[in-house]
Structure 1
Amino acid sequence: MPAFVAPLVGFALGALLAWFSAAASHRPGALRAAEPRLASGAPDRPLALVSLFAVLVFAPVCAYFLVFAPDWSFAYLVDTRQIPSAVDLVLLLLDAASVPAGFVAAQRFAASAGGRPTAQRSIRALAVFAGAPLAIALIAVLALSRRLALDGTYRQVEGDFGVHPITGGPLGYALLWMHTMLAAGFAVTVSALLRREPPGGAQKGEPPAGPRPRAVPSAPPPAAEPPRPASTRPQRRLGLGKGGRSNRPG
């Protein structure tokens, strides 16, 4: 994407990810009425996921056009051969930092009013931190759309020779491929944010924590009866009388 709108787009994507991160995925209609979970002591996993998206997806997409189409990236307004390479590095770092910056800014704005953030406050934060940068970026792109529709170098565009439309050319296919990868990475990040473990370690589908039920005392087990002592009388054998004599007749 053009270098002059990449930080704005990254900031807006970060705000969008903050809104999706605030959605309670275990509740029906969460995407329609998101309620941010901004309790103190919340884990930093959402910010880590957003930072990975910025470093592994958004920054490489921006770096591709800075490296392989630098004149187009600056809309042929300047000759990029006269720009030091340190400027490209600073722009790349700014692009990578813009996504987490938008994420953190949208979260803090939603929690700034105090109390429990509501869906209305979340939508307001989304409009401020995502809608405004995207609107500015769209206006800039529309203003320079004629230049951005050309594939060539700075000298070719200024001299009006050897240029051709980006559609059907290598730059057009690169734009299509890179933006597809950006959309896929954004979708994967949103899915990871919605499926993450809720704060406090509670798993999805578990009942809400509440007071523990009182333990009902159980009846004591019945006391075991002591064994009866064996009889001390000698056992009589069949057919024998006292003293061991036989009591059979004859």
Structure 2
Amino acid sequence: MLSYQHAYHAGNPADLHKHATLAALLALMTRKPRAITVMETHSGRGLYDLSGDEARKTGEAAEGIARLDPTSHPLWQAIAAIRTAHGDAAYPGSPLVTQAALRPQDRHILMELHPQEHRALSTALRGTSAEIHKRDGYEGVLALSPPKPRRGLVLIDPSYEVKSEYEGVAEFTHRLVAKWPEAVVMIWYPILPAARHVAMVEGLKLPKTVDEVAFDLKGGKGMIGSGLVLINAPYGSDQVLRDTRALCRGILR
């Protein structure tokens, strides 16, 4: 939906779950010199100001990134690089978390349909080799699959503002894997009291790894947890998920 803007939620516990896992997965996938392609269906603006009006209005970052201690984890390496360039209140979205992990031989393809978010994303990644498309993320990723390099990862991270999005994600994932069978697919979803994610996860008729965490956010009003599904998870992914929980101990459970 074009009404959603992630600036209100940047740096919250769900972001930590998603971004820590993404950063560590990419570190795992770039250990060998072979190039990879990373694509995102819903990229957002890429860079967030936690001192801005949106973040201060919700206060969600105070329950997430503000409680995290610096470590050598790949997510903190990305955050440190971003804050060196943009100040201590900066927080990277998934495009900049990814950009921090990629090498010159890798390819980075981003979809963002929201006009304001697309402009901000283009600014945040100016001077990089990222390919930024103002188009529907599902249509764009399918149109470009399988890409070259063929080894790679797709992050599926919609807003889920519309109930049908859950079913749509499952349908899209099956179509994507049919076109690009070797792709590592990472799906993020919110865990809400209505539990609409359950049917989506059960509807993914593919070998998968599911990781769900709970957290306290706004006293339990709204989102109560965060979920990830990994399709074609690379060897070592179990350790990546354990490392995410260790990094976020006391925030995620």
Looking at secondary structure, tell me which structure has more helix per residue. 1
Decide which structure has the larger Cα Rg and report it.
Answer: 1
The TM-score, its normalising length taken from structure 2, stands at: 0.26
Q: Which has the higher contact order (CA 8 A, sep 6+)?
A: 1
